[in-house]
Amino acid sequence: MARAVTTNRKVVSTVFGWAIAILIFFPILWTILTSFKTEAEAIASPPSFLVFDWTLENYSTVQERSDYFLHFMNSVILSLGSTVLGLLIAIPAAWSMAFVPAKRTKDVLMWMLSTKMLPPVGVLVPIYLIFRDIGLLDTRLGLVIVLTLINLPIIIWMLFTYFREIPGDILEAARMDGASLRDEIIHVLTPMAVPGIASTLLLNVILAWNEAFWTLNLTAANAAPLTAFIASYSSPEGLFYAKLSAASTMAIAPILILGWFSQKQLVRGLTFGAVK
Amino acid sequence: MATQHSRAAARTMISPAVILLLGWMLIPLGLTIYFSFLRYNLLMPGANPFVGFENYAYFFTDPAFWPAVINTLLLVGGVLLITIVGGVLLALLLDQPIWGRGIVRILVIAPFFVMPTVSALVWKNMFFHPVNGLFGQLAKGLGFEPFDFLAQAPLASIILIVSWQWLPFATLILLTALQSLDSEQLEAAEMDGAGALSRFRHIALPHLARAITVVILIQTIFLLSVFAEILVTTNGGPGNASTNLTYLIYAQSLLQFDVGLGSAGGVFAILLANIVAFFLMRMIGKNLDL
Dihedral pair phi/psi, residue B131, rounded to 5°: -100, -55
Contact yes or no for B128/B77 (Cβ under 8 A): no
Nearest CA in chain B to A259: B113
Which residues 151-180 of B are in CB contact (within 8 Å) with A? 164, 167-169, 172-173, 176-177, 180
Q: Does A218 touch chain B (CB under 8 A)?
A: no
Packing angle of the helix pair A241-261, A2-34 (nearest 10 deg): 140
**B203-248 residue pLDDT tens:** 888 888 888 988 888 888 889 999 999 999 998 888 889 999 999 9
Nearest CA in chain B to A171: B1
Tell me what pLDDT residue B3 has. 65
Contact yes or no for B39/B48 (Cβ under 8 A): yes
Selection from A208, A140, A256, A217 nearest residue B119 by Cα: A256
Question: A21: distance to nearest CA of chain B, Å?
Answer: 5
Those residues whose C-beta lies under 8 Å from the C-beta of residue A37, and which sit 6 or more positions away, are A48, A52, A53, A54, A55, A58, A241, A242, A245
Question: B275: distance to nearest CA of chain A, Å?
Answer: 10
* Helix (H/G/I), strand (E/B), else coil: A166: coil
Nearest CA in chain B to A242: B126
Those residues whose C-beta lies under 8 Å from the C-beta of residue B280, and which sit 6 or more positions away, are A117, B214, B217, B218, B221
Q: Does A87 touch chain B (CB under 8 A)?
A: no
Distance, CA of A222 to CA of A137 (rounded, Å):
10
The backbone region for A273, taken as left when phi is positive above 0, alpha when psi lies in -120 to 50, beta otherwise, is left
Q: Does A217 touch chain B (CB under 8 A)?
A: yes
Partners of residue B113 in chain A, C-beta under 8 Å: 206, 210, 252, 255-256, 258-259
Q: Does B138 touch chain A (CB under 8 A)?
A: no
Tell me what pLDDT residue A276 has. 66
- DSSP code, position A187: I
> Domain A66-271: which CATH class?
mainly alpha
Name which of B36, B121, B287 to mutate to probe chain A: the one with the most chain A Cβ atoms within 10 A of its Cβ. B121
Q: Does A174 touch chain B (CB under 8 A)?
A: no
Question: A70: distance to nearest CA of chain B, Å?
Answer: 18
Distant-in-sequence contacts of A252-255, Cβ < 8 A, 24+ apart: A252/A28, A252/B113, A252/B114, A252/B115, A252/B118, A254/A209, A255/A206, A255/A209, A255/A210, A255/B113, A255/B114, A255/B115
Tell me what pLDDT residue A237 has. 53
pLDDT band at B164 (very low <50, low <70, confident <90, very high): very high
Partners of residue A6 in chain B, C-beta under 8 Å: 97
- Which residue has better confidence, B78 or B180? B78
Instruction: Classify residue B107 as exposed, middle or buried by CB count within 10 Å of its CB (0-12, 13-18, 19+).
Output: buried
Selection from B157, B108, B124 nearest residue A23 by Cα: B108
Cβ–Cβ of B270/A9 closer than 8 Å? no
Contact yes or no for A184/A222 (Cβ under 8 A): no
Selection from A256, A57, A141 nearest residue B118 by Cα: A256
Distance, CA of A262 to CA of A242 (rounded, Å):
30
The fraction of chain B above a pLDDT of 70, given in percent, is 98
For chain A, give every domain's residue range.
2-57, 66-271
- pLDDT in 10s for each residue of chain A, 276 residues: 445 557 888 899 999 999 999 999 999 999 999 999 888 788 777 777 777 788 888 888 888 877 888 999 999 999 999 999 999 999 999 988 888 888 888 889 888 888 888 899 988 889 999 999 999 999 999 999 999 999 999 899 889 988 888 887 777 777 777 777 777 777 777 788 888 888 889 889 999 999 999 999 999 888 899 999 888 887 665 568 888 899 999 999 999 988 888 777 777 777 777 776
**Domain B65-242, CATH:** 1.10.3720.10
Give the closest of A115, A275, A276 to B21, CB-based: A115
Distance, CA of B132 to CA of B142 (rounded, Å):
15
The helix or strand, by DSSP H or E, that contains position A88, with its residue range, turns out to be helix A68-99
Tell me what pLDDT residue A142 has. 94
Tell me what pLDDT residue A81 has. 96
pLDDT band at B289 (very low <50, low <70, confident <90, very high): low
Residue type at position A90:
A
Q: Does A145 touch chain B (CB under 8 A)?
A: no
* Helix (H/G/I), strand (E/B), else coil: A135: coil
CB atoms within 10 A of CB A94: 30
